[in-house]
Amino acid sequence: MKFDPTKYERSYRPNFELTQAFWWQQGVFASGIGSLVYLATHGFAVWPVWAATASACAAMSLYRRHQAVQINEKHKKLRGMDLVFTDFEALKEKVFPEYKPGMSYDDIKGTSKAVWLGNGFMWEKDQIQKLTEIVSGNLESLDLQPVGDSSGGFSDKTGEAAKKGLSAIHGLGEETDIYQPLSHISGHTLILGTTGAGKTRLFDLLISQAIMRGESVLIFDPKGDEELEKNAKRACEIVGKPQLFVSVQLKDPKHSAKIDPLANFEETTELASRIKCLMGPGDDDFKKYATAFATSIFEGMTMAGEKPTLNNLYKYVQSGSLPSLVCKIVQQLASQKEDYESNLRIALCTADFPEGISGVNVLKGSMAVSRNKQQAVVMLSDIQKAQYWVAYLRHFLMEDDSRAVRNAASVVSYFEHDQEHLGKMLSSLTAGLTDLTAGEIGTIVNPKSHAPDENFLNLKDLTHGRRVVYIGLNTLQYQVPGRALGAILLSDLAQVAADRYNYSRDMEPLNIFVDECAEIANDPLIALLNKGRGAKFQIYCASQTIADFTTRLESKDKTESALGNFNNMICLRLRSAESMNYFSDNCMKTKINYVMHTQSTSISADNPMTASANSGERLMEEEAELVPPQVLGMLPDLEYFASLSGGKIFKGRLPILSEEKAKLERSAKIGKIGTTFERFAKKCLLIRD
């Protein structure tokens, strides 16, 4: 449509054309009656005059009626639309352009080139112009609310008349399907919306399409939404691969799959950084100390041939088990020396046992003459064994300045540290580990200590083979362990991304969906957003407000760093001013028109009898946001504004993915059509009779 800067017409106003059409129609009758009256009084009829007058009135009536119908259709669209339900069969038709009923999934696999985002239209200057006119006018005059009801339907005791949000917003454009090219979603997508606005239902739509495209999907769901899990599982069944679906559920450990959150790492320092989230907010000095301790313990586990797990870490955080780790790692180092056995007997004699331990002298004497070195060691308690191996380390191994020896010395330093003080320094880590290792939750995330447990899955394996993994964290019931597990798994996923980026070729896309993202957001998530595109990660994060990120990440700079990596943004209804402004500020500004009415009078000072008056109209222009922040707080459920593909703004609405409700909706439509046809048939029979 060609833009005319001089044209201005209020698109949404009372339907004056309908009144004009009515009176022009009355003109047809009036001209006929006038012709009959003239015939009665003058004895002849002026049929040509009547015909011309009636034809002119009829033509104007039809013209105005046509205009009135168009305006009425515009007004009708402003009243809102019913919720739309869809099923997987209808979704196939949207996602796969070559799909026809009866075709198998294998016939259409790989033909999808875009993501379907519901129905809507591009939001441009024309729409914000119309919206400004609507909100500045009288909604009752447009029949957007019950006549005479200034409450907007909220005075209705039944609750049926009241509608959530301003339904007129979606009626400002011609609705069509909205598609985003697949090549654009690799820039990651941020989804904002208040509680109940439709974030999870949008996830339903996006997840189902990713599964239909044959891509791997990983879902983090802190709420544990049953419908979200059900639809993801159903999508796997639709494509004929139900075995691809894996569900990890904290709320149902007995039926949950098991996952190892520490399975993927290159350096043990990575494992230590992952467990930071277990400590929560607090003194950084305590966190640094606990992280250093965890680093040494994880390194010690690998030296001792133990599998790094949360259970093993918790075992060694409890000071009673630390001596056994000291024995294992020093003995492992000692066994690599050629003079191991000869040094063993000497070290037994030189072990520096503290005074006060009963039988010390006897032990020393028996060790000095004993020929059975292993039997002599067995005679000692766990602490005494550790002290012996500490003596061995210092007498025979410290001259070797290797990384292994340095780490062994580090573990020894924690063993020799005052255990009461050590417990206080590690109290926050102990509490966090307790949450993830105790009870049935511990059985989900803690594999066996030694040989790989085939019953436990890890994210590296799950991201291959087009698997669909649902992780229900159930943070309402298990807030601390749920958040901690989500954050640890995100950290594990960062290592998976690094492996894919460095070593993998011909990678398949991995779609990552994080609902209530602020619950588990951490530094590795920022790294995934920043560098995950190279590993073919396509990340969707949903949250209620921007402030949630700031609270979780404990820094506005980190929040900006995270948000700056989202190339696409979808906003449902918002209540946070900061979040509204964030979206609005990222949309370009435009100019809208308005009419300024002026009038003035003046009287001459020299001649009071001389007066003048002026009345005029001026077409003015002012700058306005393309999407004003307040509009984002007026959206009905399942309606959104989206900034996609480099700043293009769309207004859309989402269907609800539900096979049962979609079937009921189709049945209701068929029933309505049948009732209409039945009424029409009865009328035809009456006419015939």
pLDDT of residue 144: 56
The better pLDDT of the pair 161, 128 is held by: 128
Our CA dihedral for 149, 154, 157, 158, rounded to 10 degrees, sits at: 110
Residue 427 sits in the same domain as residue 539: no
Does any domain span residue 137? no
- Nearest Cα to 583, choosing from 636, 638, 643, 542? 643
Q: Which of 84, 119, 99 is nearest to 239 (CA)?
A: 99
The CB density around residue 295, as the number of other CB atoms within 10 Å, is 20
pLDDT in tens, 490-505: 988 988 888 888 877 7
Name the pLDDT band for 380 (thresholds 50, 70, 90): low
Looking at the fold, whether 670 and 554 belong to one and the same domain comes out as no
- DSSP class of residue 402 equals -
Q: How confident is the model at residue 546 (pLDDT cuts 50, 70, 90)?
A: very high
CB 158 within 8 A of CB 632: no
For the cut 90, the answer to whether the pLDDT of residue 511 exceeds it is yes
Tokens (6 digits) for 367: 């060790």
Query: 10 Å Cβ neighbour count for 195?
Result: 8
Question: Is 11 inside a domain boundary?
Answer: no
Q: Which of 207-211, 280-284, 317-321, 354-358 has the lowest mean pLDDT?
A: 354-358
Q: Is the pLDDT of residue 175 over 70?
A: yes
Q: How far apart are CA 638 and CA 93, in angstroms?
A: 21
Burial class of 597 by CB neighbour count within 10 A (0 to 12, 13 to 18, 19+): exposed
Query: Would you state the structure tokens that stand for residue 668, as one six-digit string?
Result: 């209701």
Question: 616-662 pLDDT, tens per residue?
Answer: 888 888 888 999 999 999 999 999 999 997 889 999 999 998 877 76
Tell whether the model's pLDDT for residue 689 goes beyond 50. no
Is residue 557 a part of any domain in this protein?
A: yes
* 656-672 b/e (C-beta count within 10 Å ≥ 16 → b): bbbbeebeebeeeeeee
> H-helix or E-strand containing 189?
strand 189-192
> How far apart (Å, rounded) are the C-alpha atoms in residues 634 and 199?
16
Contact 612, 602 (CB under 8 A): yes
Residue 311 CA to residue 317 CA, distance in Å, equals 10
Residue 47 predicted with pLDDT over 50: yes
Q: Which long-range contacts (CB under 8 A, 24 or more apart) does 302-308 make?
A: 302/268, 303/328, 303/329, 303/332, 303/333, 303/404, 303/407, 303/408, 304/328, 304/329, 304/332, 305/332, 305/450, 306/449, 306/450, 307/447, 307/448, 307/449, 307/450, 307/452, 308/262, 308/265, 308/268, 308/271
Residue 160, domain member (yes or no): no
**469 and 423 assigned to the same domain:** no
- Same domain flag for 507 and 548: yes
Percent of the chain with pLDDT over 70: 81
Taking the alpha carbons of 283, 284, 286, 287 in that order, is the dihedral positive or negative?
A: positive
Q: 638 and 512 share a domain? A: yes
Same domain, 252 and 322: no
H/E segment holding residue 540: strand 537-543
**Banded pLDDT at 346 (limits 50, 70, 90):** low
> How distant, in Å, are the alpha carbons of 56, 294, 475, 514 from that of 257?
79, 27, 18, 19
Does residue 679 surpass a pLDDT of 80?
no
Residues 432 and 384 in one domain: yes
Residue ranges in 43-150 assigned as alpha helix (H) = 47-77, 88-95, 105-108, 125-135
CA torsion 451-455-458-459 (nearest 10°) is 170
Q: Give the per-residue SS3 of 599-627.
A: EEEEECCCCCCCEEEEEEEEEEEEEEECC
* pLDDT of res. 100: 80
Residue 87: inside a domain: no
Q: What is the residue range of 284's domain?
A: 268-445
Give first-to-last CA distance, the chain, whole Å. 52
Share of the chain above pLDDT 90, in %: 26
Give the per-residue SS3 of 282-333.
CCHHHHHHHHHHHHHHHHHHHHCCCCCCHHHHHHHHCHHHHHHHHHHHHHHH
What is the rounded CA–CA span in Å between residue 176 and residue 191?
A: 21
Whether residue 159 is contained in a domain is answered as no
| 137-149 pLDDT, tens digit each | 655 555 555 444 4
Do 543 and 192 form a contact (C-beta atoms < 8 A)? yes
Q: Are residues 429 and 521 in the same domain?
A: no
The pLDDT, as a whole number, for residue 287 is 85
CB 253 within 8 A of CB 441: yes
What does the longest C-alpha to C-alpha distance in the chain come to? 153
d(CA 248, CA 279): 23
In this prediction, residue 370 carries a pLDDT of 44
* Domain assignment present for 411: yes
Comparison of pLDDT for 160 and 630, the residue scoring more: 630
Q: Is residue 412 predicted with pLDDT exceeding 50?
A: yes
The C-alpha atoms of residue 434 and residue 262 are separated, in whole angstroms, by 16
Q: Are residues 575 and 615 in the same domain?
A: no
Number of domains in the chain: 5
Within this chain, do residues 302 and 244 fall inside the same structural domain, yes or no? Answer: no
Residues 320 and 384 in one domain: yes
Whether residues 532 and 647 fall in one domain: yes
Q: Per-residue confidence at 4, pLDDT binned at 50, 70, 90?
A: low
| Bridging pattern class, strands 216-221 and 568-571 | unpaired
DSSP states of 210-224 as a string?
HHHTT-EEEEEESS-
Dihedral over Cα of 120, 126, 129, 130: its sign: negative
Mean of the per-residue pLDDT values for the chain? 81
Q: Is residue 630 part of a domain?
A: yes
Q: What is the pTM of this model?
A: 0.81
